[in-house]
Structure 1
Amino acid sequence: MATFKEGINGPFKGKVGSVIGSRWRNISYMKGMYKVKRTKSKPSEKQAVQHHKFKLLNRFFMPIGPVLDIGFRGLTSRATAKNIAFSYNYDHAFMVEDDQVTLNYPALKFSHGSLFTAGAEKAILTHDGVKVVWNPKTYGVGGAMDDAGYAIAYSVSLDLLRCETALRHEGEVFISFGEAMKGNELHVWLFFADSRKKQVSRTEYIPLTDAEA
C-alpha cells in the first residue's frame, strides 16, 4: 500500500487498472488488487489415463532412441523418430482395464517399412538371455546379405530393454541379460534395415520357445 498527495485532479476512489484508490482518516492511499490463486483442478479419469499412457511409453522407449531413429527414419520429414514412434504406437500399444493401464507388448512397433523381414523367426530362452534366430536366405525375397537385424528384448521383472544386431546372413544373435532368466517374463521383437539404413522392415513380435537344455 502507498499513500499519495493530491495532484491536479485530486485523489481517486475505486478501481483503476490493477490498483484501488481509497481514503482513510483524511489520508489518500492506493493498494494493489488481491490476486486469487487458482488451484489446478483434478484431472478427469480420461486425462489421467492419457497421462499414464504417455509416461509408460516414454519410459519404455527411452533406452533405445537410436534404434527408433533407424526404425522410423522413413517417416521423419516433419517429426522426430521418437515422436513418430509415439504416434504410431499410442492407439494400439496399451491394454486398459478399469483404471489400470499396461503396455500391450505384442502390439508394440519399433519400425515401419517394406523391406523383407526374414521368416522362421524364433526366440529361444537360455539360462542368461535369449537367442533370436531367423531364416538367413535372401534369394528372390527382396533382402540383402548385409542387411542388419535388430533384435530387441525386454525383461519385465528386470525392467531392462536391450537390443543387439547381426547381419541377415548370420541368421542369429544373442541378447544377454547377465543373470538367470528362468521364470522371467520376456518379450522379443525383430526388424531389419539395409546397409545404408534407408529401408527398413516392419517389426515382428516373436513368442518365446522352450528354454534350451
Structure 2
Amino acid sequence: MGTIVNGINGGISGKTGSVIGSSWKSINYLKGLYKKSNKPATEEQLITQARFKLVMRFLLPITSYLQVGFGQKKADRLTPLNAAFQFNLPLVIQGTYPSFTLDYSKMRIADGAFYLGPPRAPVYADEELTVSWDMTNNDIYKTADDDGVYIICYHPDQDEFLAPASVPTRSAGTVTFGVPTHLLGGEVHMWIFMADRKKKRVSKSSYLGLIQLS
C-alpha cells in the first residue's frame, strides 16, 4: 500500500487500473487490487487467521468503549478498534491451535496514564452487580469529580456484554446495575477504567476478576 502526496490533481479516489485510491484522516492511499488465490492456506496462515479472528470477535461489540479507551493511541494512523487489536493480540492468546482461548485477565479495554486508583472487588447480590471505586481526587494527575467511570462485563457462556445503563462519575463512588435473567447462574469477567470529561486523558483498564452470578 502506498501513500500519495497531493499534487495539482489531488488524491485518487476509486479504482484506477490495477489500483484503488482511498483516503483516511486526510491521508491518501493507493492499494493494489485483491487477487484471489487458489492455493490452500498454510498451517501458519490458518494459525494467524484463528488468532486474529478470536481477538477481533471479542473487541468488535465493545467498539464504543474502545473509542474512549484507545481513542488517543496512534490516533493519526489507527482507529481505536485497530489500536486495541494491535495492543491485545500479543498478550491475550493462550493454548495451541486449533484450540486457542482468550486470557481475559490480560485483556486491556483501555490504556493510558490517567489516574484510576486502587480497584475494589465487585459485589453480586439479589440479581445485581455493585462496583465501587476510590473517589479521592489526585492533584498530580488533575483528576476531577466529573471523570467518567467505564465498567463492562463479559459473560463467556452467553457471549454477551453487560454494563451500566449510563456512565457514572468519579464522585459517585459506586454504581449498581441489574443482571438479565438469562445471564443468572453463570459468571462474568469485569473491567473498569476512567477518563476525564473530554475523554482525552484515559487510565489503563483494571481487570476486576471473574464474578459468579449465583
**Common fold, TM-score beyond 0.5?**
yes
Counterpart selection for 1:202 from 195, 201, 204: 204
Please report the RMSD computed on the Cα atoms of aligned residues, expressed in angstroms: 2.3
Distance 1:208 1:118 in 2: 20
How many residue pairs match? The answer is 175
Aligned residue for 1:158? 158
Instruction: Report deviation, 1:128.
Output: 3.0
Distance 1:141 1:156 in 2: 38
Secondary structure at 2:91's aligned position in 1?
A: coil
Secondary structure at 1:68's aligned position in 2?
A: helix
2:72 is the counterpart of 1:70? no
Q: 1:198–1:121: structure 2 CA closer, same or farther, 3 Å change rule?
A: same
Instruction: Report deviation, 1:129.
Output: 4.4
Work out whether residues 110 and 203 of structure 1, in 8 Å CA contact, stay in contact via their aligned partners in 2: yes
Q: Which amino acid aligns with 1:153?
A: C
Distance 1:101 1:201 in 2: 29
Distance 2:136 2:124 in 1: 24
Instruction: Report deviation, 1:39.
Output: 7.1
Aligned residue for 2:113? 114
Secondary structure at 2:56's aligned position in 1?
A: helix
Q: Which amino acid aligns with 2:205?
A: T
Distance 2:202 2:157 in 1: 30
Instruction: Report deviation, 1:40.
Output: 2.8
CA offset digits 1:146-196 (Å, max 9, x no partner): 100100100111211133321011112234331165541210000000001
Instruction: Report deviation, 1:63.
Output: 1.6
CA offset digits 1:109-145 (Å, max 9, x no partner): 1111111012142222234342221111225463211
Aligned residue for 2:48? 50
Matches for 1:122-133 after TM superposition, within 5 Å? 122-133=121-132
Secondary structure at 2:122's aligned position in 1?
A: strand
Instruction: Report deviation, 1:66.
Output: 1.5
Q: 1:59–1:211: structure 2 CA closer, same or farther, 3 Å change rule?
A: closer
Report which of the two structures shows the higher radius of gyration computed on alpha carbons: 1
Work out whether residues 49 and 101 of structure 1, in 8 Å CA contact, stay in contact via their aligned partners in 2: no
Q: Which amino acid aligns with 2:107?
A: L
Q: 1:184–1:210: structure 2 CA closer, same or farther, 3 Å change rule?
A: closer
Q: Which amino acid aligns with 1:110?
A: I
Normalising by structure 2, report the TM-score: 0.73
